[in-house]
């Protein structure tokens, strides 16, 4: 593909920022198409963490010495960056967790235990990731909540024809802003408005949304959103929960320990104010520094451009794969690029996802084969697994072409 | 770096394309064992008829990749007519072959040789073709899925009978 | 201090491994004496993480491609290293958490909810860190457990004269193997044996123990131990829970989400086998790599040598500080170096810890001033805060001397 | 890099060595307000006698570092004889001075000047000596502890009276 001047992102230049993309596997250049699983990291993020450890590392919030002070400022400035990135009203609304999964467990446990009673209804959708299903099922072992499921239409959109009935009487509506299997973007605001009108709390699993779209929590209309740094060019070991300050304030603590208290006596404790109330123990300090750097990196690219880039790539992928393979390929999810992100679950001939992925790996094309932590969705789709390719800022048309050629090769290899 | 041909031997592809003993058996009298691979969602069904401690018939159902399907197909051919004790020994031998040996993972050239501690003198026959799988650690679970399903099923049966 | 050949550790050479120790603060070389708060990181650990991100990064356990496979092997090999470091019977007994605090919350929630009933007794000690107090207090809001407290003797040892009565009828005995304030090493085996004889579960907060002593879980005799990587030359964002396999096996999951399941259906889920059952969501992958590298680093030094080094330094500190300041200084905790670690809570004249720490910081001497997340202990000691200096592998006598001179300067500054 | 002398002005050390209004007042009629700094464990007690909306007497108890103790001592001297409304204004002015101003944190040379948006025309007198604290962010909580304790106490009192 020739580069044209009016592209949303200059991927050729940008790829230089990602050391791992210079690697070869099996003699081929790495074609990384598993960013929905986890994104690669630019050197700006890696250097920020490394420099921090080499210059300013100390535990935070407790020491009066220079390093401790620098470390605390680094942590809190990362919190401000993340808050700003999603349009939060205050950094106090951003809780650092170990990943998005912990963020959702925090809400289910803290808000859930304080607010749910036997017989209460929690509405989920069938396209949810396990992280937004299993915590509710664990809670359901202790409080007899009823789970209701929003179904899908034939294109993998949420089927909202019965939305009003579904949310009627519900205490919670919790759903993903973008499916990590189908790529579907869900109408967050519409669902949130309906849910709030019905008096329900709204949590949004924004793991696949925040890394790929401009995010403004006020616009989304949810009470809580959860996301992970590692899917947005940041490090492992850190995620974030955003919540409305008044709701977080009213919630009981989740994990107990250092930092999350104002006072501890033998007979009880007084929790600290936000955000520390929900951050027990030594936080992921260097990881927060990396998270902040990731947010800086993405902001410099511009989230509008990131989204435009992915729409371009999505159009290219849908078009070229369909042109090449016709009805030998089925790509799940909405056919309209504006309604989806760059995540493509493929069914190709009758090849098993594992076998496709194996042949692709031989050519250094990395895709995910499996259930993508969405087994209820797999059952709903009537499959055990899918082969999933997903793109991010560093991918371009040549990566889609490599995928395409790899599929061709897999088809030949297993032809019979 | 091992190549695709180490994994997908011709005989494996043959069993994948033409699976042996595919289907179901009426239960009872047959026993039905179910297994799945949580990593990829593959599911396998193993039906066995047992007569006087001998596997008189076997059928394979479910879905999976070429490795899990061909391994199940080969297994079905290998166990038919064997006693439960013989099936157990064969399973041990097969899983021995499938266990990861450092030296092989390092990518030395001993593809053909049996690992030094496989130690058993049970002939694996066609199953030897699956030896290449150990170089692809994530696929080992695919190759052993049907075997684990059968072994666990037989164990549970034995436990049921002894109580 | 001149170097002699028979020292336990060659600190002069070893300091070269720690980039941050080359830094100057206020024109002075950094004298880092807050390792009980968090330890500094050698380049071996930083490089391991950086290399991992630059060469082999991918999400784990889910992909069949080369990078995913390398990342999974890196994670599991780190688990094996940590397991080996503490003498665990199997890597399945090592659960990676975000920090030691989460590890203890995991036990309190999972084991606690499954096994504790109204009226049950949990025995703690007054020297506990908040991480081993507050989770129990949170649980006590839901199950009416009674907390009993082991007192201290005048030297800061646990007073075990009434041990048998204290553990009698208890369901849990949970205590620290080494105080992060007093430095006291507690008789873990003796308490564990008494507790187990009484039928109680035994949890050990080993945050200050594992980094500084050879550890063999079989010898300790506990059911669970918790510790954090960041206090043992490893990164932030990861800690570990070790538990007896049979006990972990019998426990219900704690956090729900991806990786911790075998199957998920709309009507329920089946948990995965150990260790994944307790590791929901994307784990701290690069952090595990760093944890493994930290354990390699410490193993290469030899934990016997680490302990000997700290006993040497402790003797030196206790001796020189007392010689210099006489009864103007009071150092908490056991006076016998063999009974303690290198953590020194100081009361110096009537200076406030904050003021001491401020004057020391001017000279680049980093100590901690505060309650060290042990407010019940502070109240027990009758103080609001202490000034705490603590040593690790990279400290030597010159650091103690710098502390000493700083104290002298603080005394002069505030003299009246 | 700011030095110790920026933090520990002579007047601060003087209030630390010779704290004004140290002690207790009988409650009632006095009010007793308690505050603590969770980071370092410092605790402060502020006793105030109020007569017709005027702070007729004040005493300081508790323990803390030189900054929190001297700030409390200066506060006690500053508020005695003032109306509650005046105390509120003074608190606002003081906390305005204590809020972190980026430029000052960057370490420029404007130690002496009031930050541009402190804006109030209330004379802080001796309290100006605490201005250097803003360069030591962790110590700001020490300097504001007594002020927050008093302000919160007065707020609660007002709330109680209005119900
Ligand atoms: C004795 C003790 N327990 C628990 C902790 C908590 O460790 P973390 O903050 O890493 O969870 C610490 C360290 O702060 C400690 O010293
Ligand atoms: C939609 C969605 N939700 C939740 C998660 C869980 O994120 P994490 O594993 O970082 O906690 C993921 C990613 O795996 C995801 O794609």
Nearest to D43 by CA among D35, D53, D51: D35
- C362 contact residues in D (CB cutoff 8 A): 3-4
Asked if A235 and A161 sit in the same domain, the reply is yes
- C378 contact residues in D (CB cutoff 8 A): 41
Nearest to C372 by CA among C231, C220, C165, C259: C231
Asked if A400 and A343 sit in the same domain, the reply is yes
Judge contact between A393 and A143, C-beta under 8 A. no
Q: Is residue B104 predicted with pLDDT exceeding 60?
A: no
3-state secondary structure C20-73: HHHCEECCEECEECECCCCCCCCHHHHHHHHHHHHHCCCCCCCCCCHHHHHHHH
Nearest to C373 by CA among D43, A279, A258, A60: A258
Atom of ligand 2 nearest to the CA of A36: 16
Asked if C124 and C254 sit in the same domain, the reply is yes
**Structure-token pair, residue C211:** 């980094």
Q: Which of C62, C71, C96, C282 to mutate to test the pocket of ligand 2 (most atoms within 8 A of CB)?
A: C282
Nearest by CB: B17 against A358, A369, A416? A416
Q: Measured at the alpha carbon of residue B139, what is the angle toward residues B134 and B145, in degrees to the nearest 5?
A: 105
Query: In chain D, where are the structural domains located?
Result: 4-154
- Residue in chain B nearest C62 by alpha carbon: B39
Judge whether C277 lies within some domain.
yes
pLDDT at A165: 97
Asked if A217 and A328 sit in the same domain, the reply is no
Distances (CA, A) of D132 to D74, D100, D110: 15, 11, 10
Verify whether residue A233 is a known catalytic residue. no
Q: What CATH number is associated with residue C346?
A: 3.90.1150.10
Helix (H, G, I), strand (E, B) or coil at A86: coil
Lowest mean pLDDT among A221-225, B117-121, C199-203: B117-121
A34 - beta bridge partners?
A390
Check residue A284 and report its DSSP letter.
Answer: -
A329 - beta bridge partners?
A348
Please compute the mean of the pLDDT values over residues A108-119 and round it to a whole number: 98
CA–chain centroid gap for C93, Å, is 18
Check residue C93 and report its DSSP letter.
Answer: G
Q: What CATH number is associated with residue A81?
A: 3.40.640.10
Judge whether C28 lies within some domain.
yes
The number of residues making up chain C comes to 416
CA–chain centroid gap for D12, Å, is 12
Check residue C107 and report its DSSP letter.
Answer: I
Q: What is the mean pLDDT of chain D?
A: 84
Q: Just give the CATH number of B4-154.
A: 3.90.1010.10
The minimum CA-CA distance between B96 and chain A, rounded to whole Å, is: 23
Asked if C328 and C268 sit in the same domain, the reply is no
Judge whether A128 lies within some domain.
yes
Is chain D in touch with chain C: ≥3 Cβ pairs within 8 A? yes
Asked if A245 and A166 sit in the same domain, the reply is yes
pLDDT at B109: 36
Instruction: Dump pLDDT digits (tens) for A141-193.
Output: 999 999 999 999 999 999 999 999 999 999 999 999 999 999 999 999 999 99
Preceding amide of D29 cis, omega within 30: yes
**Structure-token pair, residue A387:** 């082969």
**Structure-token pair, residue A248:** 């977080």
Instruction: Dump pLDDT digits (tens) for A224-276.
Output: 999 999 999 999 999 999 999 999 999 999 999 999 998 899 999 999 999 99
Q: Is residue D120 predicted with pLDDT exceeding 60?
A: no
* Segments in chain C below pLDDT 70: 1-5, 62-63, 416
CA of A207 to the centre of ligand 2 (A): 6
Asked if A61 and A27 sit in the same domain, the reply is no
- Residue in chain D nearest A259 by alpha carbon: D39
The whole-angstrom separation of Cα C31 and Cα C29 is 6
Q: What is the mean pLDDT of chain A?
A: 96
Domain boundary among C246, C264, C299: C299
CA of C134 to the centre of ligand 1 (A): 12
Judge whether C5 lies within some domain.
no
Residues 86-125 of B with CB under 8 A from A: none
- Percent with pLDDT over 70 in chain A: 98
List of long-range contacts for D21-25, beta carbons under 8 Å, 24+ apart: D21/D58, D21/D59, D21/D60, D21/D73, D21/D76, D21/D77, D21/D80, D22/D59, D22/D60, D22/D61, D22/D73, D23/D47, D23/D59, D23/D60, D23/D61, D24/D59, D24/D61, D25/D49, D25/D57, D25/D58, D25/D59
Residue D100 binned pLDDT confidence (cut-offs 50, 70, 90): low
A265 - beta bridge partners?
A268
Is chain B in touch with chain D: ≥3 Cβ pairs within 8 A? no
Interface-testing mutation among C104, C149, C282, C356, with chain A (most A C-beta atoms within 10 A): C282
Judge whether C315 lies within some domain.
yes
- C370 contact residues in D (CB cutoff 8 A): 39-41
- Verify whether the Cβ–Cβ distance B136 to A385 is below 8 Å: no
- Verify whether the Cβ–Cβ distance B36 to C263 is below 8 Å: yes
Q: Which of A104, A105, A131 to mutate to test the pocket of ligand 2 (most atoms within 8 A of CB)?
A: A131
pLDDT at D159: 87
**Structure-token pair, residue C373:** 């997340």
The whole-angstrom separation of Cα C228 and Cα C38 is 9
Residues having CB closer than 6 A to ligand 1 are A 258, 281-282; C 99-101, 129, 131, 176, 180, 205, 207-208, 228, 230, 239, 373
A148 - beta bridge partners?
A123
Q: Is residue D116 predicted with pLDDT exceeding 90?
A: no
Residue showing tokens 């919190």? A79
**Cα Dmax for chain D:** 50
Judge whether A139 lies within some domain.
yes
The whole-angstrom separation of Cα D60 and Cα C335 is 37
pLDDT at B117: 46
Q: How many CB atoms lie within 10 A of CB A336?
A: 12
Split into its structural domains, chain A has a count of 2
Q: Which residues of A touch D (CB under 8 A)?
A: 61-64, 68-69, 72-73, 261-263, 272
The whole-angstrom separation of Cα C282 and Cα A373 is 11
Judge contact between C320 and C400, C-beta under 8 A. yes
For residue B55, what are the contacts with CB-CB under 8 A and spacing of at least 6?
A: B48, B49, B79, B80, B81, B82, B83, B84, B87
Judge whether C1 lies within some domain.
no
Q: Is residue B101 predicted with pLDDT exceeding 60?
A: no
The whole-angstrom separation of Cα A261 and Cα A254 is 12
What stretch of H or E contains B56?
A: strand B54-63
Q: Is residue D108 predicted with pLDDT exceeding 50?
A: no
**No. of helices (H) and no. of strands (E), chain D:** 6, 3
Judge contact between A166 and A65, C-beta under 8 A. no
Residue C116: give the domain boundaries.
Answer: 46-299
Which ligand lies nearest to the CA atom of residue C283 in the structure? Answer: 2
pLDDT at B162: 76
The minimum CA-CA distance between C321 and chain D, rounded to whole Å, is: 23
B63 - beta bridge partners?
B43
Cα-Cα-Cα-Cα torsion A345, A347, A351, A353, nearest 10 degrees, comes to: 10
For residue C369, what are the contacts with CB-CB under 8 A and spacing of at least 6?
A: A63, A64, C352, C353, C354, C356, C357, C385, C386, C387, C388, D40
Q: Is residue A207 predicted with pLDDT exceeding 90?
A: yes
CA of C40 to the centre of ligand 1 (A): 15
Domain boundary among A236, A270, A299: A299
Asked if C188 and C246 sit in the same domain, the reply is yes
Residue B8 in contact with partner chain C when CB distance is under 8 A: no
Asked if A103 and A152 sit in the same domain, the reply is yes
Residue D119 binned pLDDT confidence (cut-offs 50, 70, 90): very low
Preceding amide of A134 cis, omega within 30: no
Nearest by CB: D138 against A69, A261, A272? A69
- A63 contact residues in D (CB cutoff 8 A): 138
- Verify whether the Cβ–Cβ distance D41 to C378 is below 8 Å: yes
The whole-angstrom separation of Cα B16 and Cα B19 is 5
Nearest by CB: A62 against D36, D39, D137? D39
Check residue B129 and report its DSSP letter.
Answer: G
Q: Is residue B118 predicted with pLDDT exceeding 70?
A: no
Q: Measured at the alpha carbon of residue C244, what is the angle toward residues C201 and C218, in degrees to the nearest 5?
A: 90
Asked if C327 and C403 sit in the same domain, the reply is yes
The number of residues making up chain A comes to 416
Check residue C207 and report its DSSP letter.
Answer: T
- Residue in chain C nearest A289 by alpha carbon: C236
Atom of ligand 1 nearest to the CA of C99: 11
The whole-angstrom separation of Cα C4 and Cα C318 is 20
Asked if C404 and C282 sit in the same domain, the reply is no
CA–chain centroid gap for A414, Å, is 34
The whole-angstrom separation of Cα A176 and Cα A153 is 16
Residue showing tokens 């019940």? C376
Asked if A306 and A211 sit in the same domain, the reply is no
Domain boundary among A272, A299, A326: A299
Q: Is residue D105 predicted with pLDDT exceeding 50?
A: no
């Amino acid at each position: 593909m020739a580069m044209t001047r009016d592209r949303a992102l200059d991927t050729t230049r940008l790829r230089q920022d990602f050391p791992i993309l210079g690697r070869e596997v099996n003699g081929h250049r790495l074609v990384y198409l598993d960013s929905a699983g986890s994104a690669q990291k630019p050197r700006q993020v890696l250097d920020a963490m490394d420099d921090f450890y080499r210059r300013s590392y100390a535990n935070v919030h407790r020491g009066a010495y220079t390093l401790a002070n620098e470390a605390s400022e680094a942590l809190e400035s990362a919190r401000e960056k993340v808050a700003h990135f999603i349009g939060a009203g205050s950094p106090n609304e951003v809780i650092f967790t170990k990943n998005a999964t912990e963020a959702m467990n925090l809400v289910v446990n803290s808000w859930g235990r304080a607010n749910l009673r036997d017989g209460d209804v929690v509405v989920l959708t069938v396209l949810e990731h396990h992280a937004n299903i299993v915590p509710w099922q664990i809670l359901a072992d202790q409080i007899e909540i009823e789970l209701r499921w929003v179904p899908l239409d034939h294109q993998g959109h949420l089927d909202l024809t019965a939305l009003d009935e579904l949310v009627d009487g519900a205490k919670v509506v919790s759903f993903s802003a973008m499916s990590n299997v189908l790529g579907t973007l869900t109408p967050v605001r519409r669902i949130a408005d309906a849910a709030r009108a019905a008096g329900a709390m709204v949590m949004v699993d924004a793991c696949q949304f925040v890394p790929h779209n401009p995010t403004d929590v006020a616009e989304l209309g949810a009470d809580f959103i959860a996301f992970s740094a590692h899917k947005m060019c940041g490090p492992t070991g850190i995620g974030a929960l955003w919540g409305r300050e008044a709701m977080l304030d009213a919630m009981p603590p989740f994990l107990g320990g250092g930092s999350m208290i104002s006072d501890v006596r033998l007979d009880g404790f007084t929790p600290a104010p936000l955000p520390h109330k929900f951050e027990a123990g030594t936080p992921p300090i260097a990881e927060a520094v990396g998270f902040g750097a990731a947010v800086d990196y993405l902001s410099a690219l511009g989230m509008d451009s990131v989204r435009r880039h992915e729409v371009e790539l999505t159009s290219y992928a849908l078009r070229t794969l369909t042109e090449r393979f016709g009805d030998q390929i089925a790509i799940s999810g909405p056919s309209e690029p504006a309604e989806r992100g760059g995540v493509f679950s493929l069914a190709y001939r009758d090849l098993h996802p594992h076998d496709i992925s194996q042949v692709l790996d031989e050519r250094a094309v990395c895709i995910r084969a499996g259930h993508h932590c969405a087994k209820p969705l797999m059952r709903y789709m009537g499959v055990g697994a899918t082969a999933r390719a997903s793109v991010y800022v560093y991918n371009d048309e040549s990566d889609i072409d490599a995928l395409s050629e790899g599929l061709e090769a897999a088809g030949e290899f297993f032809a019979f | 770096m091992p190549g695709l041909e180490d994994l997908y031997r011709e005989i494996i592809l043959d069993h994948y394309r033409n699976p042996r003993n595919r289907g179901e058996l009426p239960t009872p009298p047959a026993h039905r064992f179910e297994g799945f691979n949580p990593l990829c969602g593959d599911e396998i069904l193993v039906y066995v008829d047992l007569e006087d401690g001998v596997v008189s018939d076997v059928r394979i159902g479910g879905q999976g990749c070429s490795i899990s399907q061909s391994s199940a197909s080969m297994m079905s051919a290998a166990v038919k007519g064997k006693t439960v004790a013989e099936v157990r020994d064969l399973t041990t031998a097969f899983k021995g072959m499938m266990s990861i040996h450092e030296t092989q993972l390092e990518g030395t050239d001993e593809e053909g040789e049996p690992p030094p501690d496989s130690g058993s003198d049970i002939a694996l026959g066609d199953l030897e073709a699956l030896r290449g799988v150990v170089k692809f650690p994530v696929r080992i679970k695919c190759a052993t899925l049907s075997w684990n399903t059968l072994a666990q099923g037989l164990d549970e049966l034995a436990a049921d009978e002894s109580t």
